[in-house]
């Protein structure tokens, strides 16, 4: 939060300073006649900016929510595997092997894979990981001796299938980023819009400063929010791995 406040202050102060500097210097003969043209320009430019900024904000919000939901579904599926082991009768060694593989997969997700998803310079490998393969192989060792074992095996296989799908979805959503050209366009339009309000002709200096400050704060906050949500594992709004770490601790205690 303090970083956001600093970024806003570092943007507002130069904007207000430039407003005072260029306020009188930009005045020219016939400026009153051109105010209508300025109004039309800012109206059109502002609408275009609002459309682009709104589209990008909705896009990153939806992606952030999708990634958060996918991680939660994947964790729930992992927890279900642990819980469904109760249906297995007289297979303690097999249960222990599944728990061990499960703990290894959770450790992989909260460790190496999490760091890979944070690193936007290279895509995360979405192919079946060695830890997931170990989990599949450990479930394959389940022996069907009665109806309870049969039900447990079906549930375990179904959940592993879900985990495989959710893992691929998680990695794809985490690797997705806003196109650089869109971010450049948003940055250019943001700066241009602020400069336009700085050069706008307003009779009262205090009203002018208030307008520039308000517009600058709104535009800077909007840009910071979009940039923050575009990197879901870093920043003010970030997805944490605390639930995975807690689950790993619980699994470790059962080994």
- The pLDDT value recorded for residue 246 is 95
With H, G, I as helix, E, B as strand and everything else as coil, classify residue 109.
helix
pTM, to two decimals: 0.84
Q: Hunting for tokens 């050069």 — which residue is that?
A: 199
- The pLDDT value recorded for residue 24 is 67
Q: Contact 201/42 with Cβ under 8 angstroms?
A: no
- The pLDDT value recorded for residue 33 is 64
Give the chain's residues under pLDDT 70: 1, 24-35
- The pLDDT value recorded for residue 28 is 59
Task: Encode pLDDT of 201-252 as tens digits.
Answer: 777 889 989 999 999 999 999 999 998 898 898 878 889 999 999 999 999 8
- Cα→Cα distances 156→102, 174, 214, Å: 12, 26, 56
Half-sphere exposure of residue 7: CA atoms within 13 angstroms, side-chain side: 15
Tokens found for residue 132: 């997931």
User: For residue 8, with 0-12 CB atoms within 10 Å meaning exposed, 13-18 middle and 19 or more buried, which class applies?
Assistant: middle
Q: What are the extents of the domains in the chain?
A: 2-26+34-254
């Amino acid at each position: 939060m303090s970083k956001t406040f600093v970024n806003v202050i570092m943007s507002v102060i130069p904007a207000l300073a430039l407003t005072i500097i260029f306020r009188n210097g930009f005045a020219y003969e016939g400026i009153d006649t051109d105010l209508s043209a300025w109004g039309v320009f800012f109206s059109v430019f502002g609408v275009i900016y609002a459309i682009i900024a709104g589209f990008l904000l909705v896009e990153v919000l939806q992606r952030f929510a999708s990634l958060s939901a996918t991680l939660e579904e994947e964790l729930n599926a992992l927890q279900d595997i642990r819980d469904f082991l109760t249906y297995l009768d007289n297979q303690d060694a097999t249960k222990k092997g599944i728990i061990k593989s499960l703990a290894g997969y959770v450790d992989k997700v909260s460790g190496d894979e999490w760091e890979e998803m944070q690193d936007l310079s290279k895509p995360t490998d979405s192919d079946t990981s060695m830890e997931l393969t170990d989990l599949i192989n450990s479930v394959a060792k389940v022996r069907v001796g009665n109806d309870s074992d049969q039900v447990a095996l079906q549930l375990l296989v179904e959940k592993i299938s879900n985990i495989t799908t959710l893992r691929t979805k998680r990695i794809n959503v985490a690797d997705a980023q806003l196109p650089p050209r869109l971010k450049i366009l948003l940055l250019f339009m943001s700066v241009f819009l602020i400069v336009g309000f700085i050069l706008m002709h307003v009779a009262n200096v205090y009203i002018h400063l208030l307008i520039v400050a308000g517009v600058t704060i709104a535009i800077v906050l909007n840009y910071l929010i979009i940039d923050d949500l575009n990197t879901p594992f870093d920043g003010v709004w970030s997805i944490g791995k605390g639930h995975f770490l807690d689950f790993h601790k619980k699994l470790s205690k059962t080994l």
